[in-house]
Amino acid sequence: MRFTPELPFDGGRLKPLQSEDTAALFALYQQPELPGQKPLQDESQIGRLIDLSVQMAATQRGIMWAIESDGEVCGILSGFDWQASQLRIMLRADGLPVLSDEHRAAAIKAAVDFLIEKYHLRNFGYQWVSGQNESIPGLLGTLGFERCAVLRDAWRTGDREFADIHQFHFISTAEKPQPKKLGDDDNPGQNLDRDVNHGGTH
């Protein structure tokens, strides 16, 4: 069963991490976008990442998509710290230099729209680490995210070096699903509070 769906966006698509993309994903991690992140040394690490992405999505602990643009994998969109009971999740998109701001924004929006509709998530966070692409904060603003906090020296970039994490949040205003009583969508006879027409008068 596939727990992470493909999501199209203008100029590309989000798709689940798959074994046939191992070489492309390994190449992605050879040019890390996050400051201080070390390149992967072994392609087998991608296999473990793919397995973990399936487990995370199946248990609603996280979700990961490959960002594909013009037929090439050029980024990963990650949802982590998924707290299903509190309807919130933290996002981050990591990409190669060829990943345009337009495609990054479209990918984030596609993921947010899906998570709102499928899982009714309301609170979306995004972490931008000082040293990443400077255009990302502005891009997030176009999607409705606002900078709400700065975590000082919260991202390790070396043995004694650290960078700040800037946290952005977006609160969905989509209408929340309304709770229903047992039987609202079933046979009226199962709901004792409903009038049932038995086809005759009494």
Angle made by CA atoms 172, 173, 175, in degrees to the nearest 5: 115
Under the banding of pLDDT at 50, 70 and 90, the label for residue 165 is very high
How far is it, in rounded angstroms, from Cα 28 to Cα 32? 7
Residues in the chain: 202
Which domains are present in the chain?
Answer: 7-190 (3.40.630.30)
- What pLDDT is stored for residue 22 in this prediction? 95
Q: Give the amino acid at 55.
A: Q
Q: Is the pLDDT of residue 79 over 80?
A: yes
- What pLDDT is stored for residue 174 in this prediction? 83
Edge-to-edge strands of the sheet including 12-16?
7-9, 12-16, 63-69, 72-83, 88-95, 123-129, 162-171, 146-156
- What pLDDT is stored for residue 175 in this prediction? 74
Give the residue carrying structure tokens 């008068």: 201
From residue 52, alpha-carbon distances to 3, 25, 187 in Å are 12, 14, 41
pLDDT, one tens digit per residue, over 101-159 is 999 999 999 999 999 999 999 999 999 999 999 999 999 999 999 999 999 999 999 99
Overall average pLDDT of the 30-55 stretch: 91
| Highest mean pLDDT (candidates 27-31, 44-48, 145-149) | 145-149
